[in-house]
Structure 1
Amino acid sequence: MALTKNDLVEQVAEKLDWTKNEGLDALEALLEIIKGTLSAGEDVLVSGFGKFCVKAKAERKGRNPATGTDLMLRARRVVTFKWSGQLRDRINGDGSL
């Protein structure tokens, strides 16, 4: 089961001994900062966790899988995530944060 936004709010509030509304405000503020930074084309580095990177993708040829017709996919920017070595080790059971 995925960790939801509500789960994050509850855990933040519990860890910091805040109300649920204070936890929600803190999480919303953090997410808005991250979204604004990524929208500006800048990367977001969270030490010990990973780096969210904005990458440019060029226009390319694609295909509609339903009809098989060829089409051109527009150029766009995408967000990628590169995990840190610490996170990789923790997920793979090689250490703890």
Structure 2
Amino acid sequence: MNQAELIAAVAERAGLTKADAGKAVEALVGTITDTLKRGDEIRIAGFGTFGVSERGERQGRNPQTGAEITIAASKAARFTAGKAVKDALNGG
């Protein structure tokens, strides 16, 4: 599902126009992004938790030359599914 399909599904399920659903989806994504940038977690009951994980600096290899390179430390978004989502995926 891409963003346009998500907006259409939200509009249909919530009885909104596609324009209003688009604003709601963009507001949700923006809020999640801003919260993660601050280093905070977002917990949505029955859905899951969005958080930030930190990756340390590490050594890697350039696949073309085989030369060792240093891969810089970085942050990555992570999502942990809640119990309701896990149960829905596993037929529970």
Question: What TM-score results when the alignment is normalised by the length of structure 1?
Answer: 0.88
1:63 aligned to which of 36, 48, 61 = 61
For the residue of structure 2 that corresponds to 1:80, the secondary structure is strand
Partner of 1:43: 41
Residue correspondence of structure 1 range 10-89 to structure 2 within 5 A: 10-89=8-87
Alpha-carbon separation, structure 2, partners of 1:16 and 1:49: 18
Q: After TM superposition, give the deviation of residue 66 of structure 1 in Å.
A: 2.0
For the residue of structure 1 that corresponds to 2:39, the secondary structure is coil
Question: What TM-score results when the alignment is normalised by the length of structure 2?
Answer: 0.92
For the residue of structure 2 that corresponds to 1:93, the secondary structure is coil
% identical aligned pairs: 35
Off by >3 Å, runs of 4+ in structure 1:
none
Partner of 1:8: 6
Provide the alpha-carbon RMSD of the alignment: 1.0
Q: Which digits, 9 at most, give the CA deviation of each residue in 1:13-71, with x for residues without a partner?
A: 11222111111011111110001001111111111111111011111111112221101
For the residue of structure 2 that corresponds to 1:21, the secondary structure is helix
Q: Which amino acid aligns with 2:23?
A: D
